[in-house]
Amino acid sequence: MSVAVHIRNIEKRFREQSVLHNISLTVEGGELLALLGPSGSGKTTLLRTIAGLEFQDGGDVFFGDINARQLTLRERRIGFVFQHYALFRHMTVEDNIAFGLRARPRSQRPSEHDIRSRVFELLQLVQLDGLEKRYPAQLSGGQRQRVALARALGIEPRVLLLDEPFGALDAKIRKDLRQWLRELHQRTGHTTVFVTHDQEEAFELADRVAILNGGRIEQVGTPTQIRQRPENTFVADFLGQTATEATPIAQILPMKRKPQ
């Protein structure tokens, strides 16, 4: 079942440097939301904070009505997909996908028969059935990323988080996998947040886009809303011609008065 993620007033510092400034954002249940922005804008730090891989210095993350502070990392049930796959090289595709299920406490672990059935379902879902006995080194980059996604889905996550999931792939494979991921999301309905610096990727995939800059959210909206009505100069400049083609920036931002 899809769960909403509520991010409330998140602050994060690394030593003396503040990297997230009072971030508040809601990701609706079943929504696919992109975190878009330049390098150093805080996208990955926010994603890792949702996952529990970073601890915030202020504010809270809720999964539905549950404050994530009350949950262990395992109890958050986050499916996380990294840019560079993070597969176990010594394990087959089948064992990589099954890892999260086999790592559960004995009282919560499915039977080996159920685990194999789940792996087979996931292999079909990501269109890799027949490759279960291969090792990561025997797969293409696109296939490895599909295995990583199947492994993340294998734990039946509350929320799916993807950090630049196609960043290590060439342009043709990236485009094919974007379309595939969108179709997969429509079938599974997981609440999904993904990080990207690629505007085309964000606008093609996401239901809504949150644009970050310097650890702050500059604008949140649908791709159409953001393209047609950038809310400030940063968003307009960041999007470049994408924004100004639809709505001239002079119509959006207050004009400076000429000196009298």
Q: What is the DSSP string of 13-74?
A: EETTEEEEEEEEEEE-TT-EEEEE--TTSSHHHHHHHHHTSS--SEEEEEETTEEGGGS-HH
Q: What is the pLDDT of residue 51?
A: 94
Instruction: Tell me the C-alpha distance between 185 and 189, whole Å.
Output: 5
- Residue 7 to residue 1: CA distance in whole angstroms: 19
| Residue 7 to residue 10: CA distance in whole angstroms | 7
Count of other CB atoms within 10 angstroms of residue 158 = 21
Q: What is the pLDDT of residue 1?
A: 61
User: What's the pLDDT at 9?
Assistant: 97
The structure tokens 């002079």 sit at 250
134: confidence class by pLDDT, cuts 50, 70, 90: very high
For residue 241, give the H/E element and its range: helix 241-246
Q: What is the mean pLDDT of residues 171-178?
A: 78
**Contacts (Cβ under 8 Å, ≥6 apart) of 23:** 7, 9, 10, 11, 42, 46, 59, 215, 216, 217
Q: Say whether pLDDT at 96 is over 90.
A: yes
> Hey, how many other C-beta atoms are within 10 angstroms of the C-beta on 40?
13
Q: Is the pLDDT of residue 255 over 60?
A: no
Query: Where is 188: in which H helix or E strand?
Result: helix 171-188
- d(CA 11, CA 18) in angstroms, rounded, equals 8
Whether residue 78 contacts residue 153, with contact meaning beta carbons closer than 8 Å, is answered with no
Residue 259 is predicted with a pLDDT of 45
| Residues 10-61 pLDDT 10s | 999 998 899 999 999 999 999 999 999 999 999 999 999 999 999 999 999 9
- What's the average model confidence in pLDDT over 236-254? 55
Percent of the chain with pLDDT over 70: 91
Longest dimension (CA), the chain: 81
Cβ count within 10 A of residue 86: 12
Confidence of residue 172 (pLDDT cuts 50, 70, 90): confident
Task: Give 149-166 pLDDT, tens digit per residue.
Answer: 899 988 888 899 999 887
The pLDDT of 173-200, averaged and rounded, is 87
pLDDT surpassing 70 at residue 258 = no
Question: For position 230, what pLDDT does the model report?
Answer: 95
Q: How many CA atoms are closer than 13 Å to the CA of 98, on its beta-carbon side?
A: 20
The residues, any chain, with a CB within 8 Å of residue 73's CB and separated by 6 or more, are 52, 53
Contact (CB, 8 A) for 118 and 110: yes
